[in-house]
Amino acid sequence: MGVGDVSKRILLGRKLRSTQLGETLLPKRIALPVFASDALSSVAYAPDEIFIMLSVAGVTAYAWSWKVGILVALVLLTVVASYRQNVHAYPSGGGDYEVATVNLGTNAGVGVASALLVDYVLTVAVSISSGAQYAASALSSLSGHEPIVAAVLVAFLTALNLRGVRESGTFFAIPTYLFMGAILGMCGWGLLRYLLGTLPEVESAGLRIERAPGYEGTITTVALVFLLARAFSSGCAALTGVEAISNGVPAFRKPKSANAATTLLLLGLIAITMMLSVITLAREMSLRYVDPDHVDRLIDANGNPMPAGFDQDTVIAQIARGVFDNFSPGFYFVVTATGVILILAANTAFNGFPVLGSILAKDGLLPRQLGSRGDRLAYSNGIVILAAMAIALILAFDAEVTRLIQLYIVGVFVSFTLSQLGMIRHWTRHLRTETDPAVRRRMFRSRAINTFGLCMTALVLVVVLVTKFLAGAWIAILAMGTFFLIMRGIRRHYDNVQEELVIAEGDQTLPTRVHAIVAVSRLHKPTMRALAYAKAARPNVLEAVFVDADSAATARLMEEWDQRNIDVPLKVLYSPYREIIRPIVDYARSIRNANPRGVVAVYIPEYVVGRWWEQVLHNQTALRLKGRLLFTPGVMVTSVPYQLRSSEIASERDSRMQDRSQPGDVRRGRVLGNETRAPSRSTQEGNRAEELR
């Protein structure tokens, strides 16, 4: 085992057998933090976005905050109810993609998949960037280095997820539950103090907010409607991550659909309670909150604007400082738990993206490598690709949440809307054939839920497109279109390859003639082995080919060839420009062109080394020759390896590592280096007798 293998095992853990897949399935208590951390963590920034949008019209617009919050909660509850129908009808893990493909067609399915892929990448970028900003606020030394911090955090999450879903889920469960306890505890204590009349104001309560240009004076009805629509669309960031559970149904323990539906319900109730509680407390504690890039709109009690470097705490931080004004550990606990969950919220995407990618790969829409599980039974390639794209996005947008948030939620509401439409068609199709009255009533109820969900999600999608398109949503739409075209192109390629590989009648016809060529660079053991192997194949014609790039070397080779009485003719190809590969390729093509119904078999002798640095010391001519010949029709390429002593040493080293005991060998009855089975009774008795002696 080399250094790379040892490092990989330390980082990722020991390999898991395919039969151990059942051991990685999640119970509900672990599945909730794994798949719902994104939606739950949105409580940390969705209320902020609502207050930022309403602050455009001044403090008086905050009166609408709880109404906007209720509307967002209604949409969230509707989406949760709709997805509970999805997980029962389509438990295979395809989620919105499968629903749209089956009921609306391939193009709709690819469109949904494109939207979800973009949304997953943005989920990681937004969550990690927000967490990096929290870290920079706590540690001043990190200020100005948020993109690097975010990239390191993405790499850390990638390593955790490469260890497997179950291990990463156990790691993320504790912080997620601590966050839920922190927010619910803060809100519960704050509401109790409100009822007792001891609830203080937040630190920004004494500030005033200057209205943005265009909102001075009396706000017109049209302006107010547009303002509320923007606040509503920003608050709908709380819905991101809900669809991850429908994509992750295969990761649940049995009964999968029932457990996924229960987890969805818990997610919806907890998220709604937390979000509405935070908005209510913020309003009752006289919060003042504006866009961090426009803190100059905040005015102190003396009428002076706040300085440009003024540090505005987040909504939750201000509420926590006020609620726990006499208990500072409570404040630090809430802020720390919130910062951690914002980082770990990206884990939802790390579980959803690879699963969706594997399904798309199996359908021929993405490279097939994404459909393969790694050593730890996780879809490793999908995890690595997600991390790479998220890091690129973070660095491109300098880890600024205010810029990234404008790209957010467009993709998820595209998938929401098409999924609801697909489910309506699903129930309608089944109602045509179902005759059981009880089942029909259940289908009618499910269709009504999905119809209401379609109306709500379509309305939100229109609002989001209208209010966020020019602010940056067009980038997300462009990315979705790019993914759509890429996936359609990949599917077209696979279809063309499949069509070309269909066996025809003439594919079993034997070639009329086999002309064998043995490429010779010098006369040594690999050359003699290749000549012997070529003779054993008994071709119609066999000859050795040498390229004359140095007349002196050519003369020495021909002399030695004659001295050893080698019974294979040697053909010398003249190369005036000292090229080695081109003359052999041209010669093979000329033979093929002279006999189109025959084949040319080229045998390439090469020696194998065992150490990585030894590869650098050889010019890899054989490898380059094979690469050229593979594109030549009618030419078959055969490598004849000759293992040098260093390769034998490497092989022996691997054998010794395999002979060492592995975790679980005793339980499985495996003896060092022997077959996997428990010792027989006679063997056990003999061993026992030997021990007694």
Alpha carbon separation from 268 to 32, 220, 374, 412, 416 (Å, rounded): 11, 35, 33, 16, 15
Closest to 567 in 3D by CA, of 528, 622, 594: 528
What's residue 65's pLDDT?
87
Please answer whether residues 40 and 176 qualify as being in contact, where contact means their C-beta atoms are separated by less than 8 angstroms: yes
Q: In whole angstroms, give the CA distance from residue 102 to residue 427.
A: 12
Please answer whether residues 83 and 453 qualify as being in contact, where contact means their C-beta atoms are separated by less than 8 angstroms: no
- Mean pLDDT score, 466-495: 87
pLDDT digits (tens, 9 = 90+) for 98-138: 889 999 999 999 999 998 898 889 888 888 887 787 677 66
What's residue 659's pLDDT?
53
Average confidence score pLDDT of the chain: 81
Residue with tokens 């040319």: 600
Q: Provide DSSP, 340-384.
A: HHHHHTTHHHHHHHHHHHHHHHHTTSS-GGGG---TTSS-HHHHH
Closest to 158 in 3D by CA, of 407, 404, 376: 376
Q: In whole angstroms, give the CA distance from residue 450 to residue 81.
A: 8
pLDDT band at 225 (very low <50, low <70, confident <90, very high): confident
Based on C-alpha coordinates, what's the Rg of the chain? 33
Cβ atoms within 10 Å, residue 441:
10
The top-scoring range by mean pLDDT among 59-63, 168-172, 371-375, 657-661 is: 59-63
Residue 213 reports pLDDT greater than 90: no
- CATH superfamily, domain 21-494, is Amino acid/polyamine transporter I (1.20.1740.10)
Q: In whole angstroms, give the CA distance from residue 429 to residue 255.
A: 26
- Mean pLDDT check: name the lowest of 7-16, 498-507, 542-551, 673-682: 673-682
Please answer whether residues 383 and 161 qualify as being in contact, where contact means their C-beta atoms are separated by less than 8 angstroms: yes
pLDDT band at 175 (very low <50, low <70, confident <90, very high): confident
pLDDT band at 40 (very low <50, low <70, confident <90, very high): confident
> What sign results for the dihedral spanned by CA atoms 168, 170, 173, 178?
negative
- Mean pLDDT score, 297-307: 77
Cβ atoms within 10 Å, residue 81:
17
Cβ atoms within 10 Å, residue 648:
12
- Would you list the domain boundaries of the chain? 21-494, 513-652
* 3-state DSSP assignment of residue 502: coil
Please tell me which residue, 507 or 662, carries the higher pLDDT value: 507
Alpha carbon separation from 390 to 369, 517, 526 (Å, rounded): 20, 50, 48
**Roughly what angle, to the nearest 10 degrees, separates helices 328-344 and 315-323?**
160
pLDDT band at 170 (very low <50, low <70, confident <90, very high): low
Please answer whether residues 237 and 245 qualify as being in contact, where contact means their C-beta atoms are separated by less than 8 angstroms: no
Extract the tokens encoding 681: 């009774």
Closest to 662 in 3D by CA, of 90, 1, 153: 1
Residue 377 reports pLDDT greater than 60: no
What's residue 376's pLDDT?
53
Single-letter amino acid, residue 615: Q
Name the region of 214 (left: φ>0; alpha: ψ -120 to 50; beta: rest): left
Single-letter amino acid, residue 518: V
Same fold, 21-494 and 513-652: no
Residue 384 reports pLDDT greater than 60: yes
Q: Provide DSSP, 216-267.
A: SSSPPHHHHHHHHHHHHHHHGGGGTTTTHHHHTGGGBPSSHHHHHHHHHHHH
What's residue 667's pLDDT?
45
**Roughly what angle, to the nearest 10 degrees, separates helices 410-431 and 95-104?**
50
Domain over 513-652 is classified CATH 3.40.50: yes
Q: Output phi, psi for 36, to 5 deg.
A: -110, 0
pLDDT band at 289 (very low <50, low <70, confident <90, very high): confident
Q: In whole angstroms, give the CA distance from residue 182 to residue 336.
A: 10
**Three-class secondary structure assignment of 105-118:** CHHHHHHHHHHHHH
> Rounded to 5 degrees, what angle do the CA atoms 269, 273, 279 make?
145
pLDDT digits (tens, 9 = 90+) for 200-212: 998 888 888 877 7
What's residue 481's pLDDT?
92
Alpha helix segments (H runs only) across 564-666: 581-594, 612-616, 621-629, 645-659
b/e sequence 312-326, b meaning 16+ C-beta within 10 Å: bbbbbbbbbbbbbee
> Rounded to 5 degrees, what angle do the CA atoms 32, 38, 44 make?
115
Residue 488 reports pLDDT greater than 90: yes
Residue 20 reports pLDDT greater than 50: no
Please answer whether residues 285 and 65 qualify as being in contact, where contact means their C-beta atoms are separated by less than 8 angstroms: no
- Mean pLDDT check: name the lowest of 131-145, 330-344, 420-434: 131-145
Whether the model clears a pTM of 0.75, i.e. scores above it, the answer is no
pLDDT digits (tens, 9 = 90+) for 585-609: 999 999 999 998 899 999 999 888 7
Looking at residue 680, the DSSP 8-state letter turns out to be P
